[in-house]
């Protein structure tokens, strides 16, 4: 795993590294950057036969945009609502979502659907909020 952080979201990257520690040897690059858009966007590219992937995660740049509401369908068929209070929380959400897709393509995780990727985003964001609180004590 390689992390390219074009933001100041050091906590978000540290958390992703912690979550993906046992996959550290994988040939996957996560590029986190800021965008002028008002929502989080992401994607990934399969680069070659050596299971090399690039994951792109973009979060809104503006301060005024946060808190940012997330209201998406999750794997249970229900909608889930949660709020990212800053860029780090949004970054964690979108990284988790895209990591889900790539790890499903690699057959590490099962169920390559948007709703499951969304659920991963909400799971990581919830865990991140707790983890970050604990670190600040």
Q: Which stretch binds Zn ion (CB under 5 A): 14-22, 28-36, 111-119, 126-134?
A: 111-119
Residues across the chain = 137
16 belongs to the binding site for Zn ion (CB under 5 A): no
Task: State the number of binding residues for Zn ion (CB under 5 A).
Answer: 2
Q: Are 30 and 47 in contact (CB under 8 A)?
A: no
Least Cβ distance, residue 104 to Zn ion (angstroms): 10
Distance CA(137)–CA(93), nearest Å, equals: 23
Q: Are 91 and 9 in contact (CB under 8 A)?
A: yes
Q: What is the distance of C-alpha 75 from the center of its chain?
A: 17
117 belongs to the binding site for Zn ion (CB under 5 A): yes
90 belongs to the binding site for Zn ion (CB under 5 A): no
Least Cβ distance, residue 43 to Zn ion (angstroms): 8
Least Cβ distance, residue 5 to Zn ion (angstroms): 21
92 belongs to the binding site for Zn ion (CB under 5 A): no
96 belongs to the binding site for Zn ion (CB under 5 A): no
Contacts with Zn ion, residue ranges (CB under 5 A): 114, 117
């Amino acid at each position: 795993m390689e992390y390219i952080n074009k933001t100041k979201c050091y906590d978000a990257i540290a958390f992703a590294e912690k979550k993906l520690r046992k996959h550290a040897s994988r040939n996957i690059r996560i590029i986190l950057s800021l965008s002028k858009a008002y929502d989080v966007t992401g994607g990934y590219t399969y680069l070659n036969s050596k299971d090399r992937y690039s994951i792109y995660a973009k979060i809104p740049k503006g301060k005024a945009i946060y808190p940012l509401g997330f209201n998406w369908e999750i794997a249970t068929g229900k909608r889930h609502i949660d709020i990212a209070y800053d860029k780090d929380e949004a970054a964690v959400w979108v990284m988790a979502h895209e990591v889900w897709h790539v790890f499903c393509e690699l057959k590490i995780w099962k169920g390559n659907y948007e709703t499951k990727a969304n659920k991963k985003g909400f799971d990581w964001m919830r865990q991140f909020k707790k983890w970050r609180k604990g670190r600040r004590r």
